[in-house]
A and B are shown apart, each in its own frame.
Chain A
Amino acid sequence: AQSVTQPDIHITVSEGASLELRCNYSYGATPYLFWYVQSPGQGLQLLLKYFSGDTLVQGIKGFEAEFKRSQSSFNLRKPSVHWSDAAEYFCAVASGGFKTIFGAGTRLFVKA
């Protein structure tokens, strides 16, 4: 069965510092991979997605993610974090069906 693991429950970074959020997935075939962001009390917004092709994908708000098949990982990165990036981030995987499975999330805190 497909699953998603986000090893870090929360991460704190200084404003202007770089960010990497980890995501590992379990799925037999090539998955469809996503990163979503959720602000408190809100729904989820798609940051970026990977289906095939170039393993480095660019998203909105300056985020990027790299798919590494050998490590079953899809880590999210941003070179310089802004205070407005503080939120909960979810990695997700979809199989050949239409069910998308989410990780437990990583809460990002940004300190001034």
Chain B
Amino acid sequence: DTGVSQDPRHKITKRGQNVTFRCDPISEHNRLYWYRQTLGQGPEFLTYFQNEAQLEKSRLLSDRFSAERPKGSFSTLEIQRTEQGDSAMYLCASSSGMAPGNTIYFGEGSWLTVV
């Protein structure tokens, strides 16, 4: 069990560029979540996958954001035409089991700075 890993850990990009983050969940975890966290705030839910199916998306996930989990394993979060307001830490998490309250395990996050 190597934990949830995220790549890259830090990304600085110019406004208008596209960025992609990758998340590798704990192996055999069937659920994967993306959260966004800004300074001084708690994580905000973005989206959630069960296996390869994206089951829920937050209103925070504008049409510039897209997340995929093509084979039910790793996931990518792409932000197109980045804006300064996208600067945040993007957290990935995973969980297993069927109960809704099963523990979710977080990665260390990917910091995005849009300049």
Binding site for B on A (CB under 8 A): 4, 9, 32, 34, 36, 41-46, 49, 51, 90, 92, 94-105
Contact = CB atoms under 8 A, between A and B. Distances in A.
Given A104-B41, A105-B42, 19 more contacts: A9-B40, A32-B100, A32-B101, A36-B106, A43-B106, A44-B91, A44-B93, A44-B106, A49-B101, A94-B100, A94-B101, A95-B100, A97-B100, A98-B33, A98-B50, A99-B56, A100-B33, A101-B45, A102-B43
Interface in B56-75: 56
Interface of B: 4, 31, 33, 35, 40-45, 48, 50, 55-56, 91, 93, 95, 99-101, 103-109, 111
A51 B99 CA distance: 10
A101 B100 CA distance: 13
Contacts of A36: 106
Contacts of A101: 45
A4 to B, nearest CB: 8
B42 to A, nearest CB: 3
A16 B76 CA distance: 44
Closest 9 CB pairs of A and B: A32-B101, A102-B42, A43-B106, A43-B108, A44-B106, A102-B43, A105-B42, A104-B42, A90-B42
A111 B41 CA distance: 23
